[in-house]
């Protein structure tokens, strides 16, 4: 049913997706189905985010956090905090963003890809705060992690963020990115044609 609700969301049938998720939650017993309840509250968070109803999305992600926390479901806790950090960052609520990023990092242990996502998200938050030099450092660290993992798409996202940082009006007040760092990020996005 979670996949049905997400498929409906992907098909832009948001009201039906929302109704489906709520019906399933209402049918779940209070005990023994916490995992399913957590999934459906995350689904509702995604649906409300798609609808642009950010406060409702935040509410459902926070409900999912309350469900997942006693069970210490690291994967769920990582992604819920990650999504909350992104929503708060987009709203300019940077204190909330930082609080969730700190929690995200706690749940990224032993997962290089997740650590790369933390660095990338931190870079976006720093960029939003005009901490351009620190944002550069974080995005380059994330790109390095993704390169080692062979995550070319994510390296591309880092390249795009680095270009936004470099083109920022505030960037003219900052020291220029050194050529070595720029070459590193650009080389990460070039295909290796050697056989």
- State which H helix or E strand residue 9 sits in: helix 2-10
- Check whether residue 98 and residue 120 sit in a common domain: no
- Check whether residue 94 and residue 174 sit in a common domain: no
- Check whether residue 9 and residue 91 sit in a common domain: yes
Domain count, the chain: 2
The answer to whether the CB of 80 falls within 8 A of the CB of 43 is no
Range of the domain at 94: 1-107
Q: What is the pTM of this model?
A: 0.79
- Check whether residue 9 and residue 74 sit in a common domain: yes
CB atoms within 10 A of CB 106: 12
**pLDDT value of position 54:** 96
Q: What is the pLDDT of residues 48-66, one digit of tens each?
A: 999 999 999 999 999 999 9
- Check whether residue 87 and residue 117 sit in a common domain: no
- Domain containing 31 — which CATH number? 1.25.40.10
How far apart are the C-alpha atoms of 31 and 99, rounded to whole Å? 30
**pLDDT value of position 145:** 97
**pLDDT value of position 15:** 86
Q: What is the pLDDT of residues 73-92, one digit of tens each?
A: 999 999 999 999 999 999 99
Q: What is the pLDDT of residues 142-190, one digit of tens each?
A: 999 999 999 999 999 999 999 999 998 865 454 444 445 544 554 544 4
Task: Report angle CA 141, 76, 146 to the nearest 5 degrees.
Answer: 20
Statement: residue 193 has pLDDT above 90: no
- Check whether residue 81 and residue 33 sit in a common domain: yes
- State which H helix or E strand residue 168 sits in: none
- Check whether residue 8 and residue 32 sit in a common domain: yes
Q: What is the pLDDT of residues 98-127, one digit of tens each?
A: 999 999 999 987 899 999 999 999 999 999
- Check whether residue 134 and residue 100 sit in a common domain: no
> Strand, coil or helix: what is 16?
helix
């Amino acid at each position: 049913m979670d996949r049905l609700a997400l498929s409906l969301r992907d098909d832009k049938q948001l009201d039906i997706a929302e109704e489906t998720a709520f019906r399933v939650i209402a049918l779940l017993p209070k005990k023994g189905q916490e995992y399913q309840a957590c999934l459906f509250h995350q689904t509702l968070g995604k649906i409300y985010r798609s609808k642009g109803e950010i406060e409702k999305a935040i509410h459902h992600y926070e409900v999912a956090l309350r469900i997942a926390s006693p069970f210490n479901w690291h994967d769920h806790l990582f992604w819920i905090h990650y999504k909350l950090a992104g929503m708060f960052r987009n709203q300019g609520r940077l204190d909330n963003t930082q609080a969730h990023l700190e929690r995200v990092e706690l749940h990224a242990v032993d997962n290089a890809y997740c650590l790369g996502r933390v660095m990338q998200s931190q870079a976006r938050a720093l960029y939003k705060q005009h901490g351009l030099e620190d944002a550069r450092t974080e995005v380059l660290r994330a790109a390095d992690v993704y390169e080692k993992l062979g995550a070319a798409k994510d390296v591309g996202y880092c390249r795009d963020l680095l270009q936004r940082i470099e083109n920022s009006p505030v960037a003219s007040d900052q020291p220029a990115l050194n050529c070595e760092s720029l070459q590193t990020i650009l080389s990460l996005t070039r295909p290796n044609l050697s056989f």
